[in-house]
Structure 1
Amino acid sequence: MTVDNEIVVNDKKFWNKMRDYGKRAGRKTAYYSLLLFYTAKSPGVPKSTKLIIVGALSYLIFPIDLIPDFIPVIGLADDATVVAAAVFKVVSHIDDSIKNKASQKVTKLLGEDIK
């Protein structure tokens, strides 16, 4: 994913992380991560908002965390916290189209409806 060709988050790494992460972190956290991903891809979203999103998603896919992911329960807490904080910051840019894309993708990745 790029933000005006200046900041790059590797899409392949993101999708690989989402498959694994979604199963371990839970459907809601995966859904919120996808909300961020699709919001960043939206052309009408300001660059400053995209920078917040790219920062959060980069932290998500970065192999070194403050709390390593392999530690049961709390290992994914830092990732979920970063994602939740970013969603809170950019929620005004998340429309129904983005919600639908995220819901469909999380269902495709994890198998069941988000609800």
Structure 2
Amino acid sequence: MDPQLPSRYRAQQWYSAPRLWEKISRYALVAGRKTVLTAITLYHCLKDKDTPAWAKGVIMGALGYLVLPADMVPDIIPGAGYGDDWAALVTALATVATYVKDIHKVKAAAQTEKIFGLKGH
């Protein structure tokens, strides 16, 4: 990670699909269904060739923040740990909402149900 970059770009450097899926698979129950659903919805929007570059940057920033090893509120704090991640994801979702397609939502909902079904919740 380049410490010379403005802070708004640092989280983008942490994003990668493998990191995202690892975080989701390990911490889905702690993060909660809404956080997981929002993250996966943004992931599908990011992968869409029709999503403009600026919107992909916003999404990568939010997903990068989610996978950061250390953030503003440590993720291990019960009841609060994923609150800042949730805020980043919701802000990104609101910012790029025009580009979120129904297919992104459908895919995300199916994957979220599969994840939580496998985890017994």
Calculate the TM-score normalised by the size of structure 1. 0.86
Q: State the alpha-carbon separation in 2 of the partners of residues 8 and 47 from structure 1.
A: 17
**Pick aligned residue for 1:60 from 62, 66, 80:** 66
1:2-56 Cα distance to aligned partner (Å, 9 max, x none): xxxxx67322111011123321121111101111100000000100000000000
Q: In the alignment, what sits opposite 1:87?
A: 93
Instruction: Point out where structure 1 has 5 or more consecutive residues left out of the alignment.
Output: 1-6
> How far did residue 64 of structure 1 move?
0.8
Does the aligned pair in 1 maintain the 2:15–2:60 contact within 8 Å?
Answer: yes
Deviation at 1:72, TM superposition (A): 1.3
* Alignment match, 2:41: 35
Distance in 2 between residues matched to 1:57 and 1:43, nearest whole Å: 18
Unpaired runs of at least 5, structure 2: 1-12
Aligned residues: 106
Q: In the aligned structure 1, how far is the partner of 2:27 from the partner of 2:59?
A: 17
Structure 2-normalised TM-score?
A: 0.82
Q: Which moved more, 1:46-55 or 1:22-31?
A: 22-31
Which of 17, 20, 39 aligns to 2:23? It is 17
**Alpha carbons 1:49, 1:90 under 8 Å: kept:** yes
Q: Aligned letter for 1:105?
A: Q
Distance in 1 (alpha carbons) for counterparts of 2:112 and 2:87: 19
The percentage of aligned residue pairs carrying the same residue is 33
